């Protein structure tokens, strides 16, 4: 996989370009921070998901892109490499995990893109995730810091 993957920095440029394209299908993840949050949700989520189920909407590609040596496949490979890295960190050294938050030039942290990426994956399997959302549950308390930075489709 590593032989085919574009660099993570190049992936960010690729996503940004695709998000601005008037002709290409737009990715749900519009930045590296958002993609990082989405991948973290896939890894930490309550259910396993086939790669095509989450990679395709996040990158705005068709499942057939998994079968061809193209730039889209290189983006897929980079995304799966990030998945593997986050999975390794969360399973072996969870205390060392650092979300890829956006930082302003003066160092201010903006967690919203990362949180919106996490939420984008939650929406793919909302029924399963909803079991973690009862207000008095431990899981809800752990998800609240993420969800407080999210905006739904109605702008709330």
Buried b / exposed e across 16-36, counting CB within 10 Å, b at 16+? Answer: eebbeeeeeeebbbbbbbbbb
Phi (first) and psi of residue 48, to 5 degrees: -75, 145
pLDDT digits (tens, 9 = 90+) for 108-147: 999 999 999 999 999 999 999 988 888 888 888 889 999 9
pLDDT digits (tens, 9 = 90+) for 82-108: 999 999 999 999 999 999 999 988 989
* Three-class SS state of 1: coil
- Taking the mean position of all CA atoms in its chain, how far away is CA 145? 17
CB distance 44 to 120 below 8 Å: no
Domains delineated in the chain: 8-147 (1.20.120)
Report the percent of the chain where pLDDT is more than 90: 81
Q: Which residues contact 81 (CB under 8 A, 6 or more apart)?
A: 1, 2, 5, 8
- Taking the mean position of all CA atoms in its chain, how far away is CA 35? 3
């Amino acid at each position: 996989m590593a032989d085919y993957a574009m660099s993570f920095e190049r992936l960010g440029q690729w996503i940004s370009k695709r998000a601005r394209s008037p002709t290409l299908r737009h990715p749900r993840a519009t930045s590296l921070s958002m993609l990082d949050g989405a991948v973290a949700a896939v890894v930490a989520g309550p259910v396993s998901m086939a790669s095509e189920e989450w990679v395709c909407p996040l990158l705005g590609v068709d499942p057939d892109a998994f079968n061809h040596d193209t730039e889209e496949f290189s983006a897929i490979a980079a995304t799966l490499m990030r998945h593997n890295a986050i999975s390794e960190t969360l399973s072996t050294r969870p205390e060392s995990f650092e979300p890829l938050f956006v930082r302003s030039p003066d160092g201010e942290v903006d967690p919203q893109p990362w949180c919106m990426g996490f939420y984008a994956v939650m929406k793919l399997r909302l029924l399963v995730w909803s079991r973690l959302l009862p207000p008095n549950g431990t899981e809800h308390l752990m998800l609240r810091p993420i969800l407080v930075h999210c905006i739904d489709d109605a702008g709330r």
